[in-house]
Amino acid sequence: MKSESSVLRDFTVDSRVWMLSGVALVIGLGGAILAVVLLRLIAFFTNLFYFHRLSLLPVSPAANALGYWAVLVPIVGGIIVGFMARYGSDRIRGHGIPEAIEAILLNRARVEPKVAALKPVSAAIAIGSGGPFGAEGPIIMTGGAFGSLVAQWIHLTDAERTTLLVAGAAAGMSATFDTPVAAILLAVELLLFEMRPRSLVPVAVASTAAAILRTYLIGPGPLFHMPVIGTFDPVVFGIGAIVLGAIVGLAAAALSRLMYSIEDWFERIPIHWMWWPALGAIAVGVGGLFFPRGLGVGYDNIGELLRGNAPFDLIFGLLIAKSLMWAFSLGSGTSGGVLAPLLMIGGAVGALAGHLLHATTDMQALWALLGMGAMLGSSLGVPMTSILFALEVTHCMPALLPLTLSCVTAYLVTALIMPRSILTEKVARRGYHLTREYGVDPLEIVIVKDLMSHASSPEPAPVSSNGKGKLPEHFVYSDNTSRSAAELMATEGLTSLPVVDRRTAQVSGTVTLLDLLKGRSMAVVRENERLRLVSEEKNGEHLRESIEEEK
């Protein structure tokens, strides 16, 4: 293996991105179709379980006339999901997004075909039987599984398979909510673990393709309509948005700990995990008797919150009953998503704030939107996604500034008090760790000549001006990045490399693993060394003046 190209570029991308983008286009269209299929499956099972009819028309389980018999419906759904997990694949259990993360990090972006088939069906049964979940997590997992299956038929690297898996996931979210930009940002903040043209472009192609096809399959957005927002004092409302964001951040942390505490309780009971979804469904069934609107996906609840006319009984029902129903059911390990429930609970916090402030209808709607965005950003650890998501599902541009304040504040609060988000906690509990902080590799901004050990005298040129002769088998140029040297050492199993001056073609020194560690230590010093530069500069000036006076 030779040294890298002589051209140092801002981005590592090649012509294969065109091929990946073409495949991503197909995956995006397929992901949109799968999203519609899953939504129709949820409607089918809701009609079957609660109304005993065969229909694909969307309907809320809250309108059922089963009376006390409705308590049994979620339990039946939980039993079915438990059997599917036990005798089909246990990978269908959970939120959907953590499973996509695991496939990317631990399984070379490979998803088993049976998981791709069983996940949407199990989620449709769980939600259709009253499970208080969103369809987004399962749709993201289903779209990602489709992208992975397509990628497995093509000769690709792990990184390229990851790109196509994430492209499918982004397509699923984009088609569900009509949020193509937020879906791209979610991919960057949560799934890609990088921001490069080689991955960002195909994901963007898939997301936009899914959003375009959605307009023909479901209809154009926005998904939720809001009243016209009147004028408001940006300073006062900004302060209120910060306070609301802090409150929602605390609520997000409490919800995550509640759900995982219930999951820990299930881990301790002496019953096989196959029966846990049925046990968790008891809370859903009982909660549904007191608060029927807590059953199912509940997009109508979100719509009412964002219209600014949500009554107190809906607000408190979402804050108490919906939270408990969702935490018990998801903690039992059934199949379902977290986005819609979190949006509802966060929106309820914001709507309650609007009521307490005696806000007008349009302002109550705006407070609800701020709460929704803050809850999404803090719970998932995706502040940029939450801001764009809230804007795309409502087209409410006046909310941009207060929404930014509430989302970032909530994100900061949870980042300070929670070691992991509600999604990555699931991955951590399975024995794996991932960092959510992305930055430029320190070795990428340090040149080899700044770290190498210089030769006492340059060796004779190993290549003549007429091109005869050849360089050592493995080497780096002095103007290469230290990262390229590290990658070459890792690939070839070397601990040192000769360094060649590009102009003279002479070996001018050597770079070793120890030298590369110096490059890493620079980043550590930059992160930890605290200096008062103004004071340092003044002291230096005084010292120079004293020296000049003595002269």
Classify residue 512 as exposed, middle or buried by CB count within 10 Å of its CB (0-12, 13-18, 19+): middle
Query: Please, are residues 152 and 98 in contact by the beta-carbon 8 Å criterion?
Result: no
Instruction: Quote the mean pLDDT of the chain.
Output: 87
Task: Give CA separation, 497 vs 197, 238, 505, 516, 534, in Å.
Answer: 30, 56, 15, 11, 41
Q: Please tell me the least confidently modeled range out of 53-62, 346-355, 396-405, 452-461.
A: 452-461
**Bridge partner residues of 335 (DSSP):** 94
What is the rounded average pLDDT of the residues 71-78? 94
**Model pLDDT, residue 113:** 81
- Amino acid identity of residue 118, one-letter, is L
Q: For residue 219, what are its two tokens?
A: 């209809």
463 three-class SS? coil
The better pLDDT of the pair 528, 360 is held by: 360
pTM: 0.85
Q: Please tell me the least confidently modeled range out of 182-186, 271-275, 409-413, 530-534.
A: 530-534
Query: Please, are residues 180 and 140 in contact by the beta-carbon 8 Å criterion?
Result: no
**What span, in angstroms and rounded, lies between the C-alpha atoms of 204 and 163?**
11
Query: Please, are residues 176 and 35 in contact by the beta-carbon 8 Å criterion?
Result: yes
What is the rounded average pLDDT of the residues 250-273? 93
**What span, in angstroms and rounded, lies between the C-alpha atoms of 291 and 425?**
29
197 three-class SS? helix
Residue with tokens 């199912």: 296
Query: Please, are residues 393 and 180 in contact by the beta-carbon 8 Å criterion?
Result: no
By DSSP bridging, strand 453-454 and strand 496-500 are unpaired
Q: Counting runs of H as helices and runs of E as strands, what totals does the chain give?
A: 21, 4
pLDDT in tens, 356-376: 999 999 999 999 999 999 999
pLDDT interval class at 540 (50, 70, 90): low
The better pLDDT of the pair 366, 6 is held by: 366
Task: Give CA separation, 166 vs 15, 110, 393, 435, in Å.
Answer: 20, 12, 21, 18
Residue 102 clears pLDDT 80, i.e. is over it: no
- What dihedral do alpha carbons 526, 529, 535, 539 form, nearest 10°? -100
Residue 452 clears pLDDT 70, i.e. is over it: yes
- Amino acid identity of residue 370, one-letter, is L
Residue 457 clears pLDDT 90, i.e. is over it: no
**Model pLDDT, residue 188:** 86
**Domains within the chain, CATH numbers bracketed:** 16-217 (1.10.3080.10), 234-429 (1.10.3080.10), 442-528 (3.90.1280.20)
Query: Please, are residues 168 and 187 in contact by the beta-carbon 8 Å criterion?
Result: no
pLDDT in tens, 19-34: 999 999 999 999 999 9
**Model pLDDT, residue 290:** 92
* Of the candidates 321, 316, 325, the residue with the CA atom closest to the CA atom of residue 259: 325
Helix axes 16-51, 158-177, angle to 10 degrees: 50
Query: Please, are residues 29 and 207 in contact by the beta-carbon 8 Å criterion?
Result: no
Task: Give CA separation, 360 vs 232, 302, 395, 464, 525, in Å.
Answer: 11, 18, 20, 81, 52
